[in-house]
A and B are shown apart, each in its own frame.
Chain A
Amino acid sequence: MYQTTYHRASSVDEAASLFAKGSESKFLAGGQTLLPVMKQRLASPSDVIDLGRIKELQGVELSGDTLTIKAGTIYYDIMTNADVKKAIPAIAHLTSVLGDPAVRYRGTIGGSIANNDPAADFPAALLALGATVKTNKRSISAEDFFQGLFTTALEDGEIITAVSFPVPAKAGYEKMRHPASRFALTGVFVAQTKSGEVRVAATGASQSGVMRVPAIEAALKANWSPSAIDGVSISASGLLADIHGTAEYRANLVKVMAQRAVAAAG
């Protein structure tokens, strides 16, 4: 790791002003992505601003048909939260298969979506559920927020404060775990909104990050059942290929995971 200056912020405003003072500042949440990268000397922030102790970034709220998860909430707290389990159990399940216990005790929803790894789990949930990302400056729809591999709509120094999910009628998430990292080799989140809209998002599959899967959405709109997807064909072109899965295999997984997610959603 290179030399850096560590700051612990106690409020979002303080964090934003500390950030602005540094020449090349970085926010630190769970550190599960940032710290390994710094240890490998692949990142060298001048200042690291820790968001971990900011109270306003912690917690979950269920109000009417909206579930709000504050950005600094760790996966373990999301996984075990009663409101999450009641309103959108698919999110509780998603966090239970995210990484390993060490990652779940440190990693945060804000860090995950800010990082926008093409194989991260939460981006699929946000996109399928039509969530809204709240920052210290504005609200951004999930659709607009994720902009391809490791790229988001966030501006320099902008802080995610929370994510709001509309509570769906039905939702499910299934994931084939990457055998080494436990990220999604491919994960699919399916949702049926209360107004009857069907939204399906896949992560870990596409070369351009999290994506909607219109063919599966159409099939499920016509018939919300796993077998409705039997006839859908997913093209391997544009999909990721590496030592753990060919593009064809990932195309298959998009379909199979969608079927299992629908089965899980009921």
Chain B
Amino acid sequence: MGVEGIGASVVRKEDKRFITGKGRYVDDIKLLGMTHAHFIRSPHAHAKVKGIDSSAALKMPGVVAVLTGQQIVDDKVGNLICGWAITSKDGSPMKMGAWPAMAPETVRFVGQAVAVVIAETKNLARDAAEAVVVNYEELPAVADVHAAIKSGAPQLHPEAPGNQVYDWVIGDEGATDAAFSKAANVVKLDVTNNRLAPNAMEPRAAIADYDAAEEHFTLYTTSQNPHVARLVLSAFYNIAPEHKLRVIAPDVGGGFGSKIFIYPEEMVALWASKKVGRPVKWTGDRTEAFLTDAHGRDHVTHAEMAFDAQNKILGLKVKTYANFGAYMSLFSSSVPTYLYATLLSGQYNIPAIHAEVIGVYTNTTPVDAYRGAGRPEASYLIERLMETAARQLKVDPAQLRRSNFITQFPHQTPVIMAYDIGDFNASLDAAMKAIDYAGFPARKAKAKADGKLRGIGLSCYIEACGIAPSKAVGSLGAGVGLWESAEVRVNPVGTIEILTGSHSHGQGHETTFCQLVAERLGVPISQVSIVHGDTDKVQFGMGTYGSRSAAVGLTAILKAMEKMESKAKKIAAHALEASEADIVIENGEFKVTGTDKAIALPMVALAAYTAHNLPDGMEPGLKESAFYDPTNFTFPAGTYICELEVDSGTGKTSFVNFVAADDFGRLINPMIVEGQVHGGLVQGIGQALLEHAIYDASGQPVTASFMDYAMPRADDVPSFNLSHTTTLCPGNPLGIKGCGEAGAIGASAAVINAITDAIGTNNLEMPATPDRVWRTIHAA
């Protein structure tokens, strides 16, 4: 309804403050009497902390305190938790090594904090930190996943012999073996999914403010889910009870998953604020971000796919080693299991799947969810396999995919997921048409005549979003429910506030969520504001990740809207002396259908709050809330096709074209969706061509700055050609599937498939740097 309703590309309301530098981030907040924290971090990948001498530092100007890991243990602050319990195939629970917020005894990755200096300014804290003498006894370290599981490898945690966190399986091994024994062809592939550093534009930050009189804490933090932060900090870390802790996540400059987790720095800031009796601020710098923000991906996988003589897939076997780094971060355990292996069926009818995932500790930064989380790894694997299979079986890669597509819905895969709806042929057709797939051989031949290596690569991805049905994730080991909550407050003057447990850190909720209100009430979005990111304002929420804010968060708002509208209609009917069933809402008015009798929303709201003339027994006010728990995941899917050329002299890739045909269900704001896809594609291309968080054999990070870690820039990526083929999600009333992660999930396979097509190989690891591509061409 109206120009600002669902489906309208409304300009983002929040951009005025962001573009004019008026955003309010944690680091912009200054409290009276605030002190500054600087962490002392281990330069070693693995070492014993033999002693910390802070006597000289304590005498330096402006120093308030130097606090150590031993003190945090003495004060009984809890160890960091992992919120998803995974059970190994032998029935044993996953092996958790203890992770104190600052290390009292042993450091296990470069950058792990051992102590913190609190001082009057950040610079004085840094000065004093240089005077703190930490006596380390270096231990042998291991960074590589294969090296870590070898016998005799350095051991990280006594709780986890062999550095193994878990050995988990999914699917029917017997059925899969039987499928392989019938196979006419088996395709095998080894792939590495490179480790990435998330690199949100805004580094993490925290300000903790303890009020001794009230025994109350306020924490300002860069969080994607402030309520989850409060819950975890209260329930597990023994810092403050929930009713005495307010968590505020103001403007947050990007997260990509890395700001879901509760990190040591927030815990230390809270604890230290009480100890020193003053507010404590910590703002990370870029180096700290590289060293301590949870990394993403880092899988090593061997996979085999069995085909019958008609090129139909019979079965899939997968064995994956997942590098978790030195500790199990908050949701890390679920990423290579329930967010990865459950998507291994891809868009295909695969009768039998068996996957084994071995989680491994190494002396590296902890790894957790990063844009896509598990699903990019699954999609990359399946789509590399399909391309390799097409080459081995000598069939057109589009045709091989098409002949194996799932076409009947709902579809139960052998790995838990039940796909509700989709039309995989439609997105494949749209993408092939957009790139003129039929004309590719002629283009390739022409390029060859000009001395260029041209390739085309497909990626037909599927993902599970709208995370997630609480009962389902609970049965799989999740420690939380994944519903969302919302509240609609109509003020006495008819303006509207929407309180949501979703959190916007780039997604544009302040615009899209208003569009739902505009759609239903016909009011301009300027009359609506979105309140989020403060546990004192919003009742509860599970936050934003897993492309869940529209599918789950917005549906919760819809449920609350429906309750509010129902009450408002009763008030309107009473005022208009009409039957409630005859009231319709149009252009901000409640009308008696078929008449010219109407009452405007502000009058209804005013009536609700003056309460002079309400229907008998009705409570005053116009404010409703709702919790919404989805019944299933949503399944965005689509086809990406990439056409590129490789310079054989330098190994450098240049894009010719990149088309994306996505099925996200209903789009609220197509412009914002386009932005989400662009960003996701750039991250997927970044993984394929540029990004890699590298450690040397001793666990020293090699890529801890932008001078070494290659982030994609605008001129590294093409202009994208986007389109949508839509099947509405049957699982939620708005028909939404979600769009936040698709690009990052689907893009990398398309790029690598295109490069391997261009240079005629099946084996090429990411990132396909010019050096690596050149060496591959010239090794052949």
Interface residues of A (CB under 8 A from B): 1-2, 40-41, 100, 176, 179-181, 185, 243-246, 248-249, 252-253, 256, 259-260
Asked if B707 CB lies within 8 Å of chain A CBs, one says yes
Distance (whole angstroms) from the CB of A115 to the closest CB of chain B: 14
What mask results when residues 744 to 755 of chain B are scored 1 for a CB within 8 Å of chain A, else 0?
Answer: 000000000000
Q: Is the CB of A180 within 8 A of B774?
A: no
Question: Roughly how many angstroms separate A86 CA and B651 CA in the complex, as a whole number?
Answer: 33
**Cross-interface CB contact of A253 among B130, B650, B708, cutoff 8 Å:** B650
Interface residues of B (CB under 8 A from A): 123, 126-127, 130, 287, 649-652, 689-690, 692, 694, 702-703, 706-711, 713, 716, 769-771, 774-775
Q: Is the CB of A256 within 8 A of B649?
A: yes
* Known contacts A180-B690, A243-B694, A243-B703; 13 further A-B pairs (Cβ under 8 A): A100-B713, A176-B650, A179-B690, A180-B703, A180-B710, A180-B711, A243-B708, A244-B769, A246-B775, A249-B774, A249-B775, A256-B650, A260-B649
Chain B residues within 8 Å of A248, by CB? 775
Question: Roughly how many angstroms separate A256 CA and B713 CA in the complex, as a whole number?
Answer: 24
Chain A residues within 8 Å of B287, by CB? 40
Query: A-B pairs with the 10 shortest C-beta distances?
Result: A180-B710, A179-B710, A256-B649, A181-B707, A249-B771, A245-B771, A180-B708, A179-B690, A243-B694, A176-B650
Report the nearest A residue to B130, measured CB to CB: A41
What are 29 of the A-B contact pairs (CB < 8 Å)?
Answer: A1-B123, A2-B127, A40-B287, A41-B130, A100-B713, A176-B770, A179-B710, A180-B690, A180-B707, A180-B710, A180-B711, A181-B707, A181-B708, A243-B692, A243-B694, A243-B702, A243-B703, A244-B769, A245-B771, A246-B771, A246-B775, A249-B651, A249-B770, A249-B771, A249-B774, A249-B775, A252-B774, A256-B650, A260-B649
Report the nearest B residue to A100, measured CB to CB: B713
Q: Is the CB of B126 within 8 A of A41?
A: yes
Chain A residues within 8 Å of B709, by CB? 180
Report the nearest A residue to B708, measured CB to CB: A180
Question: Roughly how many angstroms separate A180 CA and B704 CA in the complex, as a whole number?
Answer: 12
Q: Is the CB of B711 within 8 A of A176?
A: no
Chain A residues within 8 Å of B706, by CB? 180-181
Distance (whole angstroms) from the CB of B709 to the closest CB of chain A: 6
Distance (whole angstroms) from the CB of B778 to the closest CB of chain A: 8
Chain B residues within 8 Å of A245, by CB? 770-771
Question: Roughly how many angstroms separate A105 CA and B706 CA in the complex, as a whole number?
Answer: 19
Chain B residues within 8 Å of A243, by CB? 692, 694, 702-703, 708
Chain B residues within 8 Å of A100, by CB? 713
Chain B residues within 8 Å of A40, by CB? 287
Distance (whole angstroms) from the CB of A233 to the closest CB of chain B: 14
Chain A residues within 8 Å of B692, by CB? 243
Q: Is the CB of A176 within 8 A of B708?
A: no
Chain B residues within 8 Å of A244, by CB? 710, 769, 771
Question: Roughly how many angstroms separate A244 CA and B707 CA in the complex, as a whole number?
Answer: 11
Chain B residues within 8 Å of A1, by CB? 123
Most buried by A among B689, B702, B769: B769
Chain B residues within 8 Å of A252, by CB? 649-650, 774
Question: Roughly how many angstroms separate A256 CA and B648 CA in the complex, as a whole number?
Answer: 10
Report the nearest A residue to B767, measured CB to CB: A179
Most buried by B among A176, A180, A181: A180
Chain B residues within 8 Å of A176, by CB? 650, 652, 770
Report the nearest B residue to A39, measured CB to CB: B285
Distance (whole angstroms) from the CB of B290 to the closest CB of chain A: 12
Question: Roughly how many angstroms separate A153 CA and B771 CA in the complex, as a whole number?
Answer: 34
Question: Roughly how many angstroms separate A245 CA and B769 CA in the complex, as a whole number?
Answer: 9
Most buried by A among B650, B702, B716, B771: B771
Distance (whole angstroms) from the CB of A245 to the closest CB of chain B: 5
Chain A residues within 8 Å of B649, by CB? 252, 256, 259-260
Report the nearest B residue to A3, measured CB to CB: B123
Distance (whole angstroms) from the CB of B130 to the closest CB of chain A: 8
Report the nearest A residue to B712, measured CB to CB: A179
Distance (whole angstroms) from the CB of A187 to the closest CB of chain B: 12
Question: Roughly how many angstroms separate A185 CA and B126 CA in the complex, as a whole number?
Answer: 34
Distance (whole angstroms) from the CB of B635 to the closest CB of chain A: 35
Question: Roughly how many angstroms separate A41 CA and B125 CA in the complex, as a whole number?
Answer: 13
Report the nearest B residue to A186, measured CB to CB: B650
Chain B residues within 8 Å of A260, by CB? 649
